[in-house]
């Protein structure tokens, strides 16, 4: 089974991002990600034996933080760069708690033999993938026109997802949800 750990978006942030995607869809020939699949990936695990799923659930239950995490969805961009774009994304503005949580998830899973992340954490929400060449100026115009906030989210939980790759796109199924911090009263 193919697994990853992520934070789900709120309905309000999904709606705000959907409005942007609806405006851009006719202008940018991307393979757009379905709104129900938008998430903030904390850790991609990859293929994992189904019979060992309980081990992952067990170590993820141990991941805790001092407080919920707040982040703001803001701006658009591409990965790896504007000249060779492969992924079109919405960015995030966040404090130190988000990278700390990501690091705790990474360290917990490393105890099971999941390879630790070597690259710096660059949080984003993947909105689409480039299926054809697009002039960099066209992409840059879209990015420049949306240097705005799309909404904010405060969360005290993350989710272990199973990803099934299908011809029409990936289908994500929630395996388990984990509360990592207590909400402040």
Question: Which tens digit of pLDDT belongs to each residue from 79-95?
Answer: 999 999 999 999 999 99
How confident is the model over 40-49, as a mean pLDDT? 95
Q: Give me the helices (H) in 38-185, please.
A: 53-61, 97-110, 136-145
Task: Estimate to the nearest angstrom the gap between the alpha carbon of 162 and the chain centroid.
Answer: 14
Residue 3 has pLDDT above 80, yes or no: yes
How confident is the model over 148-158, as a mean pLDDT? 94
- Asked if residue 161 lies in contact with residue 8, where contact means CB atoms within 8 angstroms, the answer is no
d(CA 52, CA 76): 37
- Asked if residue 145 lies in contact with residue 65, where contact means CB atoms within 8 angstroms, the answer is no
Residue 185 has pLDDT above 50, yes or no: no
For the chain, give the mean pLDDT.
93
Is 94 noted as a catalytic residue in this protein?
no
* DSSP character string of 158-172: EEEEEEEEETTEEEE
Catalytic residue chosen out of the listed positions 3, 13, 32, 39: 39
Quote the tokens at residue 49. 């034996």
d(CA 21, CA 148): 14
Question: In this predicted structure, what is the pLDDT of residue 132?
Answer: 84
Reduce the DSSP state of residue 145 to 3 states and report it.
helix
Question: In this predicted structure, what is the pLDDT of residue 184?
Answer: 55
Rounded to 10 degrees, the C-alpha dihedral 129/131/137/140 comes to -10
Catalytic residue chosen out of the listed positions 33, 114, 124, 159: 124
Residue 74 has pLDDT above 50, yes or no: yes
Angle between helices 53-61 and 97-110 (to 10 degrees): 140
**Per-residue pLDDT tens digits for 105-147:** 999 999 999 999 998 889 999 999 998 888 899 999 999 999 9
Q: Which domains does the chain have, with CATH numbers?
A: 2-179 (3.90.1140.10)
**Per-residue pLDDT tens digits for 4-44:** 999 999 999 999 999 999 999 999 999 999 999 999 999 99
Question: In this predicted structure, what is the pLDDT of residue 167?
Answer: 85
Residue 183 has pLDDT above 80, yes or no: no
């Amino acid at each position: 089974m193919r697994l990853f750990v992520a934070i789900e978006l709120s309905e309000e942030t999904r709606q705000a991002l959907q409005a942007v995607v609806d405006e851009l869809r006719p202008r940018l020939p991307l393979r757009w990600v379905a709104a129900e699949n938008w998430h903030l990936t904390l850790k991609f695990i990859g293929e994992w034996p189904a019979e060992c799923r309980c081990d992952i659930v067990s170590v993820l239950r141990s991941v805790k933080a001092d407080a919920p995490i707040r982040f703001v969805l803001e701006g658009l961009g591409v990965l790896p760069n504007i000249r060779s774009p492969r992924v079109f994304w919405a960015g995030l503005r966040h404090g130190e708690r988000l990278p700390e949580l990501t690091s705790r998830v990474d360290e917990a899973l490393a105890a099971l033999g999941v390879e630790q992340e070597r690259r710096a954490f660059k949080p984003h929400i993947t909105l689409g993938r480039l299926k054809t060449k697009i002039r960099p100026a066209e992409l840059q115009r879209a990015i420049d026109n949306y240097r705005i906030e799309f909404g904010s989210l405060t969360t005290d939980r993350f989710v272990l997802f199973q990803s099934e790759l299908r011809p029409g796109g990936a289908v994500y199924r929630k395996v388990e949800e984990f509360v990592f911090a207590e909400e402040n009263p």
